[in-house]
Amino acid sequence: MDKVINLKKGLNLSLTGQASGFVRDKALSATFAIKPTDFTNLIPKLAVKAGDEVKAGDVLFFDKKNEEIKFTAPVSGEIVAINRGAKRVIQEIVILADKQIKFKQFDAKSSISKGVDSVKEQMLLSGAWTLLRQRPFNVVADPNAKPKGVFISGFNSKPLGADVNVMLGSENANFQAGIDALNTLTDGHVHLGLPTEGAINSALTNATNVKKHYFNGPHPAGNVGVQIHFIDAINKGDTVYTMSPQDVVILGRLFNEGIYNTSQVVALSGSEFTSNCYISTPKGAQIEHLISNNLKSEDARLISGNILTGEKVNKETYLGFYDNNLTAIPEDTSPEFLGWLLPTYERPSASRTFVWFKRLLAKGRAEGFNVNTNMHGEERAYVVTGEYDKVMPMDILPNQLIKSVLANDIDKMEELGIYEVVEEDLALCEFICTSKMPVQQILRDGLNYIQIEA
Amino acid sequence: MKGLRSFLDRIKPTFQEGGNLSMLHSTFDAIETLLFVPGHSAPAKGAHIRDGIDLKRTMITVIVAMMPVLIWGLFNVGYQHYLSLGVNEGFATMNNMLFGLSKSLPIIAVSYGAGLGCEFLFAQFRKHPVNEGFLVTGMLIPLCMPPDVPLWMVALATIFAVIIGKEAFGGTGMNPLNPALLARAFIFFAYPGSMTGENVWIADKPDGYSGATSLSNLSAAESVPVDGNWLNVSGWSVGDMFLGFEPGSLGETSVLMCLIGGVILFATGVGNWKIMVATFVGGLGGGLILNGLVAMGIGADNAFMAVPAYYHLLMGGFAFGAIYMATDPVSAAQTERGKWIYGIMIGLVCIVIRVFNGAYPEGMMLAILIMNVSAPLIDYYQVQSNIKRRLARAK
C-alpha cells in the first residue's frame, strides 16, 4: 500500500438515517431543471426559450464571462419554463422530460488519444466541462487554467454522506475513461484519495493512470480539499481541478459512449425518510419526484446536499447540480425550557460539558442521533478559542482565517490559506461553534470579496 | 412550563419596538432566552445541525467551577473573623457561614447589579443581545476582593471594568484585559488602602490583631531562617496555605478548592488546561531559578528569593489566578502554542513582581494583566509562523 496519511483532528458524527441498501431505478421524473444558482458566481446567458425542444447534451445557457463554458440539458424534452427570482435572476430552466431520453451524439473514445484540445472541446461542447470545478473558489473550472493536478476523493466521510461504493456501482470502464480524460488536462497527476478502512469499490482500486493516496482518520478526511492540502497544497497562484467520483463516471460515458448521460445515484438520507435508499436518476431531478410518499412528515426540512453543507429546498424545486444527497430531518423551532442547562432530548455535541449526559457526547457513539435543525443557542461574539482547531486537520488557523474575512483583510486571508478551503472544509467548525457563527457563509463572503477585488 | 411560555409570549409585545416598555427590550430578551433556549432553526444554507453547546452553558460551567472556592471563602471569612476575636469553634460552622454571607453577599449583589446594569444598558443602546460573559465576571470580581472592601468601590470598579475595559473595545469577546482583574486593579491603584496592607484581609478584625497574609509576612521578612523553619517567617504552614486557613480575598485562599475548580474546568474542556499547567510550571520554574541564585550566593539574605519554590504556588492568589483568571479565553493567547508561552510567562512574571517589587507582594494580578496585553503579540508570532510555513511551501 502507498503511504498512509493519518489525520487526527476531525469529528465523525453518528446520525440516524444513513442511506443503505439497493439502488432503486425509478421511472423518470416528469420535469428536470438546471439551476444556474448552483454554479458559484455564475452569470448565465440563455441559449433556449420556453417551448424549445432539446436533447440531453444540448446547450441551455452559457457562462456570460466565458461563452466556451456551456451548460447543457441532462434529459431530452421540451423547455416548459424559465423561472426567475428577484431582480429577474434566472433560477431554473425546466425541461419536461421525454419518456425515453434522446441523447445528442458526440465523438466516442478516440478523442482521448487525440489529446488535450480534443478532450477539452468535447467536454465543453457536451456540458461535461461543468462537472469539473477548480480551486481556489470552487467555481466551474477555467478551461484556460493550467492546473497543477486533478483531485478526486474516492470516499465520503461526511455524516449521512452518500457511499461512493454504491454510487460507482460497476461502472469500472466509465470511471477509468473519465480518469484517462482528466489526465490529459494537467501536466501534473490525477490524484485519487482512498480510505484505509472499509470496502473500496473495484472501480477505485483497479483504476490506473492515477496516483492513489490513502487517508486514515475522522471526517473531514474524505473532503477533497483536505486531501489536496496533504498531497500538494494550493499556494497563491496555483489552480487545481476537482471532480466527484460519480461525475468522473458521467465524464467517462461521454468518451466511451459519446453521450452526455448524467444518470447518477442519489442517496435519500436523514431520519425523516421512511426508507433511506439510493435512487438512480439523471441530474436535476425534481425533489418531489425523489421523495414520492417516502416522507414521514410534511414539515421536515429538505436539504439538497449534505446535512452539514447543503441548501434548504422545497418540494417543487430541483436537486442541486453537484448534489448526490437529498436529506430530510425534522425542522425544530420549539423553545426549550432551560435547554442550555438541562437538555430534554438527545443531541450530538463535541463539548465535554455534556459529560453528565453521557448519551449526548458525539464522540465514540455507535448508534446514531436523531438530529433536528435547532440551533441550540443564539449567535454570540467569539469568546471560546481553540475549538475550531480540534476539527481542522489542515495546517490552517480557522479562527484567525475567519476573523481576517470579517475584517475584509485580503492580504491576511491569502496568508492564512483561504485559497485552500471551501465551505465544506469548515463545515464542522460551523457545527461545533459555541457562538453559532455562520462560518461557511463568512468564508464564502471572503472568497467572493477576493474575486471582486482582484 | 407551558404556562410560563405563554405568559412570556403574552407580555413579549410590551417589550418589543413600539411597546410601552421597549426600553427594557434587551433585559426582557436576556431573561426570556435564559428561561427558554429560543427555537431558532439553522439558516437555509450551511450546517443544518448544530452542536448542543452554547455560550450560556459554557459560562454556567465556569460558575459551577467557582462554587468550591466560593463556599470555602464564605466559611473562611467567618472563620478568620472569629479567630481574630479569639473564638475558634471550628471551620465549617453555621456562624462562620452566616458571617461570611453577611460580608460577601452584598459584594456579590453589588458586582452583579452594577455590571449587569451596564451590560443591559449597552445592549439596549447598541441593539445587541446581552452577552453571557458577565455571569462569570460578576462572580470573579467578589472572589478577588478583600472581605472588607467598601461596596461603593466594588460598584465603581465594576462599572469601570465593564465600560472602559470591555464596552469601549467593542463589548464581549473584544476586551484585551480580563474585566474582573481590571476591576481589582482599579481599586488596587485608586484606593490602595482597601486592597493592600495587613488590615483588609480579615473582616471586622480588632485593631491589635495581625491580619498579615503569608505573602506580606514574607515580603516584610528581613532574614532567611537559618534553621530552615519557614513557618516562623510566612506565618502560615504549608498545610494551612494549601487548604486555605489563611486571610485573603474571598476566593483565593484555598489552593485545594481552586484545584477542584480546575479539575471541573479541565474535565469539561471549558478552561484551557494548557494555560493552567503552563502557569504553574512558570511559577515553579521562576521560584526554582531564584532558589538556584540563592544557592549560588546571590541575594542569599532575601527571604522571598530563598523560600522554597512551591510556596509561591500556595501563597496568595497564584492558584486562583492561574485557574480562573488566566484561562479567560478572550484575553488569553488564542493560538495553541501561544497558550503555553502565555501561561509560563504569567507564572514567571508573577514571581518577578512578588520578589523584586517590594510594593506589590501579590504579583499575580499584574502578571496576568501584563500578559493579557502581551497575548496578541504572542499570537502574532504564532500566526506568523503559520504564514511562513505556507510561504516556504510555495517555493
Nearest to A415 among B55, B335, B387 (CB): B387
Nearest to B383 among A352, A373, A400 (CB): A400
Residue A309 with chain B: CB contacts under 8 Å: 46-47
Q: Do both B189 and B170 map to the same domain?
A: yes
Of B322, B338, B329, nearest to B276 by C-alpha is B322
In a domain, B263, yes or no: no
Query: What letter would DSSP give residue A131?
Result: G
CB contact under 8 A, B50 and A436: yes
Q: Do both B234 and B162 map to the same domain?
A: no
pLDDT reported for residue A260: 95
A257: distance to nearest CA of chain B, Å?
Answer: 37
Whether chain A has a CB inside 8 Å of the CB on B54: the answer is yes
Q: Could you say which of B160, B190, B211 is where a domain stops?
A: B211
A–B: how many Cβ contacts below 8 A? 220
Give the Å distances, CA to CA, from A422 to A395, B14, B187. Answer: 15, 44, 49
In a domain, B7, yes or no: no
In a domain, B108, yes or no: yes
Q: Determine contact, residues A373/A332, Cβ cutoff 8 Å.
A: yes
CB contact under 8 A, A353 and B173: no
Q: Determine contact, residues A91/A311, Cβ cutoff 8 Å.
A: no
Whether chain B has a CB inside 8 Å of the CB on A270: the answer is no
C-alpha span between A289 and A94 (Å, rounded): 14
Q: Do both B237 and B181 map to the same domain?
A: no
What are the pLDDT tens digits along chain A (454 aa)? 567 999 999 999 889 999 987 788 777 878 999 999 999 989 999 999 999 999 999 999 999 999 999 999 999 999 999 999 999 999 999 999 999 999 999 887 677 888 888 999 999 999 999 999 999 999 999 999 999 999 999 999 999 999 999 999 889 999 999 999 999 999 999 999 999 988 899 999 999 999 999 999 999 999 999 999 999 999 988 999 999 999 999 999 999 999 999 999 999 999 999 999 999 999 999 999 999 888 999 899 999 999 999 999 999 999 999 999 999 999 988 888 887 777 778 888 888 887 666 556 666 566 788 899 999 988 888 888 889 999 999 999 999 999 999 999 999 999 999 999 999 999 999 999 999 999 999 999 999 999 988 7
Count CB atoms within 10 A of the CB of residue B192. Answer: 13
Residue B386 with chain A: CB contacts under 8 Å: 395-397, 400, 416
Q: Do both B102 and B170 map to the same domain?
A: yes
DSSP states along B211-245? ---HHHHHHH--S--TT--THHHHSS-HHHHHHT-
For B269-282, what is the mean pLDDT? Answer: 95
- Burial (Cβ within 10 Å: 0-12, 13-18, ≥19) of residue B126: exposed
Residue range B248-267, pLDDT digits in tens? 999 999 999 999 999 999 99
Whether chain A has a CB inside 8 Å of the CB on B51: the answer is yes
- Grid cell, residue A126, equals 457536451
Residue A441 with chain B: CB contacts under 8 Å: 43, 45-46
Report the chain A residue with the minimal C-alpha distance to residue B49.
Answer: A373
CA angle B270, B276, B282 (to 5 degrees): 160
Complex prediction ipTM: 0.92
Contacts for A130 with CB less than 8 Å, ≥ 6 apart: A39, A69, A70, A71, A72, A140, A321
DSSP states along A325-345? EEEEE------EETTTTS-SS
Give the dihedral of Cα atoms B145, B151, B156, B159; nearest 10 deg: 80
Q: Do both B226 and B162 map to the same domain?
A: no
Phi-psi map region of B110: left, alpha, beta (phi>0 left; psi -120 to 50 alpha): alpha
Residue B391 with chain A: CB contacts under 8 Å: 415
- Grid cell, residue B14, equals 410590551
Report the chain A residue with the minimal C-alpha distance to residue B382.
Answer: A397
CB contact under 8 A, A353 and B268: yes
Q: Determine contact, residues A140/A63, Cβ cutoff 8 Å.
A: yes
C-alpha span between A415 and A397 (Å, rounded): 11
Length of chain A: 454
- Grid cell, residue A143, equals 478551461
Whether chain A has a CB inside 8 Å of the CB on B133: the answer is yes
- Report chain B's mean pLDDT, rounded to a whole number: 89
The more confidently predicted of residues A250 and B31 is A250
Full residue range of the structural domain in which residue B89 is found = 17-36+55-211
For B206-211, what is the mean pLDDT? Answer: 80
B162: distance to nearest CA of chain A, Å?
Answer: 16
Name the phi and psi angles at A311, rounded to 5.
-125, 135
In a domain, B111, yes or no: yes
Nearest to A341 among B60, B334, B390 (CB): B60
Q: Do both B311 and B383 map to the same domain?
A: yes
Q: Determine contact, residues A378/B40, Cβ cutoff 8 Å.
A: yes
- Burial (Cβ within 10 Å: 0-12, 13-18, ≥19) of residue A275: exposed
In a domain, B99, yes or no: yes
C-alpha span between B373 and A47 (Å, rounded): 61
Q: Kind of pairing, strands A264-269 and A278-281?
A: antiparallel
Q: Do both B176 and B286 map to the same domain?
A: no
Q: Could you say which of B211, B235, B259 is where a domain stops?
A: B211
pLDDT reported for residue B193: 84
Place of cell 425541461: A95
Report the chain A residue with the minimal C-alpha distance to residue B4.
Answer: A337
A302: distance to nearest CA of chain B, Å?
Answer: 10
**pLDDT value at B44 more than 80:** yes
Q: Could you say which of B163, B189, B211 is where a domain stops?
A: B211
State how many domains chain B has.
2
Q: Do both B222 and B370 map to the same domain?
A: yes
Spell out the SS3 assignment of B327-364: CCCCCCCCCHHHHHHHHHHHHHHHHHHHHHCCCCCCCH
In a domain, B256, yes or no: no
For B205-211, what is the mean pLDDT? Answer: 81
Whether chain B has a CB inside 8 Å of the CB on A322: the answer is no
Lowest-pLDDT range of B26-30, B64-68, B173-177, B309-313: B26-30
In a domain, B143, yes or no: yes
Q: Do both B24 and B157 map to the same domain?
A: yes
Residue B52 with chain A: CB contacts under 8 Å: 343, 347-349, 351, 354, 360, 376
Q: Do both B187 and B149 map to the same domain?
A: yes
- Grid cell, residue A430, equals 460551523
Q: Do both B115 and B204 map to the same domain?
A: yes
Q: Do both B191 and B233 map to the same domain?
A: no
CB contact under 8 A, B46 and A440: yes
For B156-167, what is the mean pLDDT? Answer: 93
For B118-130, what is the mean pLDDT? Answer: 84
In a domain, B4, yes or no: no
Residue range B278-337, pLDDT digits in tens? 999 999 999 999 999 988 888 777 888 888 899 999 998 999 999 999 999 999 999 999
Q: Determine contact, residues B132/B59, Cβ cutoff 8 Å.
A: yes
Place of cell 432539446: A54
